[in-house]
Amino acid sequence: VLLSLWGPEVLTRILKQETFGQLGTFQARRLRGSRAQHRRASAMPSPTLTYRDRVVEGTGAGESFPLDFTAVEGNMDNFMTQIKNLAQSLYPCSAQKLDQDMRLHFLDNSSATCNDGSPAGYYIKESKGSKRWLIFLEGGWYCFNRQTCDTRYQTMRRFMSSLKWPRTRTGTGILSPQPEENPYWWNANMVFIPYCSSDAWSGASAKTDQSDYAFMGSVIIKEVVNELLTKGLDSAKVLLLAGSSAGGTGVLLNVDRVAEHLESRGQGEIQVRGLADSGWFLDNKQYRSTDCHSTISCDPTEAIRRGIRYWGSVVPESCRQTHIGEEWNCFFGYKVYPTLKSPVFVVQWLFDEAQLTVDNIHLTGHPVHEGQWRYIQNLGNELRNTLKDVPALFAPACLSHEVITRNYWMDIQVKGTSLPRALHCWDRASSPRRCPLRLIDSCPWPHCNPTCPTIRDQITGQEMSVIQFLKHMGFDVAKMAQQQGMDAGRLLGMLNNGN
């Protein structure tokens, strides 16, 4: 039965965790990708121990059986290999694998709608028995007046309407149900809320005869939570509100509201946490100022000033009181974060592509000139300064945007620690000395971290090495070597080796 439900990989993981983890004596070696992490148990087991099967409700008493560990002491890997081989040999005899896609549900409350008045909804994959829930807010820019929203409706309609949403979605990254891709959250209840409100998840205004569009991002989140309470969220221990890009900003704007709403519904014991990916934007001065004719060219401060009036936005109360009359400040991470009560883990590329776009730095096929290069380096320094008081942080020095739902999210490291591992440490409140929570690169230029995602030439689509990329960016090897106090040849060798 377990094989039919979970398959051999998951069953092996369960055996590792339950048989050895519960007894607190053995911890098997965990393998992730090509890297092995060794963990030693603090005490040796007695020769014979009893492990009692958990009783599945309605099936009667579980059977007890002895486990003799004498034969496997010092040879745990071989023992686990035999268990996995046994599971794999039995697997073809088991029932068909369960569908692991998330399925679409439209909200029962039809007043919570997308921009065009079509019903809002969510995708869900339930994990019966799990007390952990993950709600993910999709990103996708925004629009801030009639003109930009009309353009968005013509070119990006799926972000304003639910009429052509697929019936299912496959989770990737932190939404994946596969432990190989998502080692710590694979068995949580997964919820994906598509972004169709174009308001950075802040709006609370319905479509009327006088208004062309509805902006109900914050209302949609609240209504999804209400429905999930009828599907098992009411017995949850942890709710992780996660999001990328505009969804990451949505996490910062809504995590306290979700916690307060659950408390008002008598569910205050649920621990609400936030995970904001690529949503920590700066209200910095653009490289080149332009008029607000489009979303991506408009100064972010001016765009949000216009947007919050158009959207009828709701911001966290404590932030609103801090910035009375200038509530637009609450859309910028370093200004809203100090006002939040809920714990939030921040994931942010130090050279975020969306930030560079709104700052009018466009990395096309032409090499950037020295002024742009200095601006990009200064952006990384500015971002580091705004993150100085964030205790739970993962900030690689990469040029990219969004990461937690990418299938390569396990490969990115800062100071030898991967993002899933850092999140696990934070989730388990591990000691910072044993398990660092604040991880930020100190190297000064884009992609100086060798684990950064692959760069591709925007014209040819071909992969670029780090040195090719830096030369494209106008990187002066001789000048940088002089600044670092080293020979230019040595610096080139380090870059070619990915250091």
Name the active-site residue from 202, 218, 245, 418. 245
* Separation between Cα atoms, residue 102 and residue 90, nearest integer Å: 28
Of 256, 352, 427, 441, the active-site residue reads 352
CB 140 within 8 A of CB 195: yes
Cβ count within 10 A of residue 259? 22
Known active-site residue 235: no
Which three-class secondary structure state does DSSP give residue 261?
helix
Question: Nearest 10 degrees: CA dihedral of 325, 326, 331, 334?
Answer: -120
Contact 195, 154 (CB under 8 A): no
Phi, psi angle pair for 417, to nearest 5°: -115, 130
Are the CB atoms for 191 and 122 separated by under 8 Å? yes
Question: Whose CA is closest to 15, among 31, 5, 2, 34?
Answer: 2
- 42 in active site: no
Measured between alpha carbons, how far is 363 from 357 in angstroms, rounded to an integer? 9
Q: Which two tokens stand for residue 108?
A: 């029962």
Angle between helices 76-90 and 2-15 (to 10 degrees): 170
Structure token digits, residue 2: 């377990």
Do the beta carbons of residue 286 and residue 343 sit within 8 Å? no
CB 137 within 8 A of CB 195: yes
198 catalytic? Reply is no
Candidate list 176, 401, 427, 447, residue with the active-site label: 401
Residue 100: phi and psi, rounded to 5, are -110, 10
Quote the CA–CA distance of 242 and 61 in Å, as a whole number.
40
Catalytically active residues, by annotation: 245, 352, 401
